Amino acid sequence: MTRRLSRLLLAGLALLPLAAAQAQDEICVVDALDREICLERPASRIATLSPGATELAFAAGAGERVVAAVEYSDYPPDALKIPRVGSHGRLDLERLLTLDPDLVIGWVTGNPAEQLERLEALGMAVFYIEPRTVAEIGTTIEQLARFADTRETGEAEAERFRREMAALAERHARAEPVSVFYQVWDEPLMTINDRHWIGQVLRLCGGTNVFGELERLAPRLDEEALLAANPEVILAGGRGEDNRDWLEHWRGYPSLTAVAKDNLFFVPPSLIQRPTPRLLEGTGMVCKQLDQARERLGERQE
């Protein structure tokens, strides 16, 4: 073996520990599509492509690193300052590329697949999220905190969320069941099933989802199906955070038990239709509303 070759081999061997250390420093997390996404270093420029993803990034302690968000990313208030890159349903890719994110948080069923695939083809790290259960909200916070190297903050927030949700569940574990219809949208009329996180919220608060056994997460209905189900409670959001028009529509059906008992309740959509820590506030509101409904049902049965 020549001296030159020997020196090259020794140099290569000397680099092996460094390469191993770099590999160990990689941050790798499995996303909602069951793909392992790895970063060589903590994310410092994050793009969040849904309002929920923006909230989750802030909850994970990475809010100051978000450089791009989509329309309706309105919480916390600092999120309003983040540059917009279109809507969740149609991204402004040119604008997004100019902001040069090193991590893109995509939404499996909300973002256009072809646009996210294009970002990946350009070499961007795209991490897909799709929290569908209460438990997965905490997990997603922890995952984003790992990418941003803010694990202490993210893990503390995830633990707080789990602990307070568990406390709500304990307080309502023996609540008298009431039948509930939750309205997601009006045209077409849509609800949720028991596998959806909103369905889990209803169950936690002692509600029985009248359409809980349907196969689709967010099934479409007709009004005849609702009239036949005749729920004791109707919960709805609206087109905005304080628009109660959907509930007013049901007052035109006085034969519905929920209408006859005045058990029509409004829930601000962002508190329950986004899988974020604010679901705690939405869940607390729903539990209080179902408690109120039980009182009204009991009073009128006596």
pLDDT of the residue at 24 = 56
pLDDT value at 4 more than 80: no
Q: Which residues of 129-156 are buried (b: 16+ CB within 10 A; e: fewer)?
A: bbbbebebbbebbbbbbbbbbbeebbbe
> What integer is the mean pLDDT of 67-91?
97
Which residues partner with 190 through β-bridges?
A: 185, 220
Distance, in Å, from the CA atom of 281 to the CA atom of 289, rounded to the nearest integer, reads: 12
Read off the pLDDT of residues 13-64 as tens digits, 9 standing for 90 and up.
555 554 444 445 899 999 999 999 999 999 999 999 999 999 999 999 999 9
For residue 157, what are the contacts with CB-CB under 8 A and spacing of at least 6?
A: 59, 60, 61, 141, 277
Structure tokens at 250: 């049901």
Domains and CATH numbers, the chain: 22-159 (3.40.50.1980), 173-301 (3.40.50.1980)
For range 177-194, the mean pLDDT: 96
Dump strand ranges (E) for 215-271.
233-236, 264-266
Residue 89: its pLDDT value, please? 95
Query: Are the beta carbons of 210 and 229 closer than 8 angstroms?
Result: yes
User: For 131-162, what is each residue's pLDDT tens digit?
Assistant: 999 999 999 999 999 999 999 999 999 999 99
Residue of 88 and 7 predicted with greater confidence: 88
User: Is residue 222's pLDDT more than 70?
Assistant: yes
pLDDT in tens, 250-273: 999 999 999 999 999 999 999 999
> In this predicted structure, what is the pLDDT of residue 242?
77
pTM for the predicted model, two decimal places: 0.88
Q: Round the average pLDDT of the chain to a whole number and report it.
A: 92
pLDDT of residue 7: 52
